[in-house]
Amino acid sequence: PAGPAPPRGPPLSRRPPAAAMAEGGGSGRGLPCPGAVAALRRWEQLRRRVAAAAPWARGLLAVAAGLGLFYLVLRVPLRLRDSLAAVTVFLSTLTPKFYFALTVTSSFISGLIFVFEWWHFRKYGTSFIEQVSVSHLRPLIGGVENSPPAPAAFSAGENETSRQNMPECKVWRNPLNLFRGAEYSRYMWVTGKEPLTYYDMNLSAQDHQNFFTCDTDALRPSDTVMQKAWRERNPQARIKAAHQALELNNDCATAYVLLAEEEATTIVDAERYFKQALKAGEMIYRKSQNCHSQSPQHEAQLRRDTNVLVYVKRRLAMCARKLGRIREAVKMMRDLMKEFPVLSMLNIHENLLEALLELQAYADVQAVLAKYDDISLPKSAAICYTAALLKARAVSERFSPETASKRGLSTAEINAVEAIHRAVEFNPHVPKYLLEMKSLVLPPEHILKRGDSEAVAYAFFHLQHWKRIEGALNLLHCTWEGTFRMIPYPLEKGHLFYPYPSCTETADRELLPTFHEVSVYPQKELPFFIHFTAGLCSFSAMLALLTHQFPELMVVFAKAVSIVS
């Protein structure tokens, strides 16, 4: 049973929170703190007196607070003025030697920055200071980088169409590339300069592995050795491996190809090796044709043997062209194009065009252009500029800028000018080489269409054909710059072709040797920091010169500037 109820005590008193906090020390735990209690009591007394005071007393307190705040505001400028006075006194005690050393040091440092900025811009096409500030400093200060917008959700058909319409910086094998041993190596022996870049030679090594190797090479010891030879970086190791392959199999066509390209020091020696490669390649090709349908491995072997045979016949035709047997070279090229019409991507017609121009068979050149200068086929500088050359040939002999400005252009002259404009829009780097405004170098083994590498390769072989036609270069000189007036902004808008790609400069710098000055289109403006550092260096150098020549006058000028500041 429950016990009796407890006795009722006096009711609990309710205290204000402030009193409770005062008694509990402000924390509600432990004994009250005497100091805190006394401070709270004084603050309560002051608040009550201010509330009970007259309005004039409250205004006086507000004025006193404002004067205190005003003193605090003026305190910093007063100290700054004292600091400026101290600096003025310090500057007045400096000697002219100090000012001269200061200006020389600042000029030297700004000059170093200017030289580094110029070198970085010439090599990479950007300002180093601007690149660092955008990529590193801007995120630190809260800036937002200019990132490309996220792609919208397109359908599969629209996406494929946009990919087809987007121009790509694709590297192509140069159809007129020279021989390494007979031409590139001889240039290096004479000049001491490497004509080929590592990137270009690496692309050639990849081409050789794709053209001259297949999955069935492990079945033949000689092909196994050559498969390793194409991967070697050292030329002497490749040549040694080719000789080892010939010791294992005297009919190894790819071994003869490697020796013709790299060991032969003359075109005659290269042609001799290629004839041996042709004899071995034809025999292997006939064997592959008989059994290509037996398995996928045999089909891959037939493709490899076809590539070897086409490559050998093409290089034999180029040897005949270089040795002066031009008609023989033309016949070999025509036969090759008829025998393997599906291999048009190798651009054998460009070799044929150059040989026909050397024969001055302009009617045959026009027939080749009628077949390959089609809207559905990829263009090249050889196609566009050869078409312009044929149209210029009809009017260049009688063309005169003064006469044309008086009477106007005829229909044939208009057609020639439009053809030149079309060619210049496709590759704007070529005219400077044809007009000998830029020096030529040996063309690389790979080219970038519409780039400087393609312009070098075209002008290296076709400059003589433009010189042979009287007045052709004069017509080109008078009209090629007019192309840029039709294209207000080449990077965003094209006229007859796609807009000029912006990636050509980077690829051309990797394809062309370092001693060649790469042509850039459109020309980039100098960054702001190059102008700034150049101006700062010049201004500091001028001050240093004036301080050295007129020390007393410059000291007075410096003191006057410090006093005014």
Q: How far does the chain reach from its first CA to its final CA, in angstroms?
A: 98
Rounded Cα distance between 518 and 512, Å, is: 8
Confidence (pTM): 0.64
Backbone torsion region of residue 204, taken as left when φ is above 0, otherwise alpha when ψ lies between -120 and 50, otherwise beta: alpha
Residue 479's Cβ-count burial label (10 Å; 0-12, 13-18, 19+) is buried
Rounded Cα distance between 416 and 391, Å, is: 5
For residues 353-390, b (16+ Cβ closer than 10 Å) or e, as one string?
Answer: bbbbbbeebbebbeebbeebeeeeeebbbbbbbbbbbb
pLDDT tens profile 44-92: 776 666 666 556 566 666 777 777 766 665 565 556 666 667 766 666 6
Task: Tell me what pLDDT residue 155 has.
Answer: 36
DSSP string computed for 162-201: HHHHS----EEE-TT---IIIIIHHHHHHH----S-HHHH
Rg of the chain in Å (alpha carbons): 42
Rounded Cα distance between 505 and 435, Å, is: 21
The CATH architecture one would assign to domain 168-359 is Alpha Horseshoe (1.25)
Rounded Cα distance between 213 and 254, Å, is: 9
| Residue 452: closest CA among 436, 483, 429 | 429
Q: How many CB atoms lie within 10 A of CB 252?
A: 26
Start-end ranges of CATH 1.25.40 in the chain?
168-359
Rounded Cα distance between 433 and 459, Å, is: 6
Rounded Cα distance between 524 and 506, Å, is: 14
Instruction: Give the residue carrying structure tokens 């009919």.
Output: 251
Rounded Cα distance between 98 and 546, Å, is: 13
User: Which residue numbers in the chain have pLDDT < 50?
Assistant: 1-32, 143-167, 489-491
> What 3-state DSSP class applies to 448?
strand
Backbone torsion region of residue 360, taken as left when φ is above 0, otherwise alpha when ψ lies between -120 and 50, otherwise beta: left
Task: Tell me what pLDDT residue 264 has.
Answer: 92
Instruction: Give the residue carrying structure tokens 């270089």.
Output: 322
Task: Tell me what pLDDT residue 9 has.
Answer: 44
> What 3-state DSSP class applies to 407?
helix
Task: Tell me what pLDDT residue 165 has.
Answer: 44
Task: Tell me what pLDDT residue 491 has.
Answer: 47
Rounded Cα distance between 67 and 4, Å, is: 72
Q: Is the dihedral of CA 51, 56, 58, 60 positive or negative?
A: negative
Backbone angles phi, psi at 171, to 5 degrees: -90, 130
Contact assessment for residue 427 and residue 382, using Cβ atoms and an 8 Å cutoff: no
In the 8-state DSSP scheme, what is residue 66?
H
